[in-house]
Amino acid sequence: MHAIDYRAADTYAVGDVEVARWEQFALGDLLPFGAMWYEVAPGASSPVDCHPERELSLVVSGTALVHAGGESVEVAQGSAFVLEPDEDHTVRNLSDERPLVVFSVYWMACDDAPVSLAGQVAHA
């Protein structure tokens, strides 16, 4: 068993967000995905983010207002959201008093890789 302590994690700032990536725990090839916690300051929002990885996020503390794919969805503590590859997204902390904490895992989906299909042009 490996225990990973959120409170002992080193973080770095991205705008109003403190990010704690799991690379710091030197787990090697243990996980087939990246992982991180991030904390959005009270009343703040994450900068617009967009990446080729699919991402599963779980709200650890607080309530998030997630803007992505042309919609805005409120995600309560304990609930989750999945972001598609290349989907612009921001995550707002709906509390003006307490930080919003989110845990995410992210990975390159095999079906997002360029493939050649008969009669179709592969996307680069």
Q: Under the rule (CB under 8 A), what is the footprint of a copy of itself?
A: 1-7, 27, 29-33, 35, 37, 54, 56, 58, 60-61, 66, 68-69, 71, 73, 75-84, 87, 89, 101, 103, 105, 107, 109-111
Nearer to a copy of itself, 29 or 96 (CB): 29
Q: Which amino acid is at 117?
A: L
Q: Which two tokens stand for residue 115?
A: 């493939």
Query: What minimum distance in Å lies between the beta carbon of 84 and a copy of itself?
Result: 7
Query: What minimum distance in Å lies between the beta carbon of 78 and a copy of itself?
Result: 4
Sign of the Cα pseudo-torsion (84, 90, 94, 95, in order): positive
Query: What minimum distance in Å lies between the beta carbon of 101 and a copy of itself?
Result: 6
Residue 56: name the closest of 39, 72, 76, 79 by CA: 79
57 touches 104 (CB < 8 A): yes
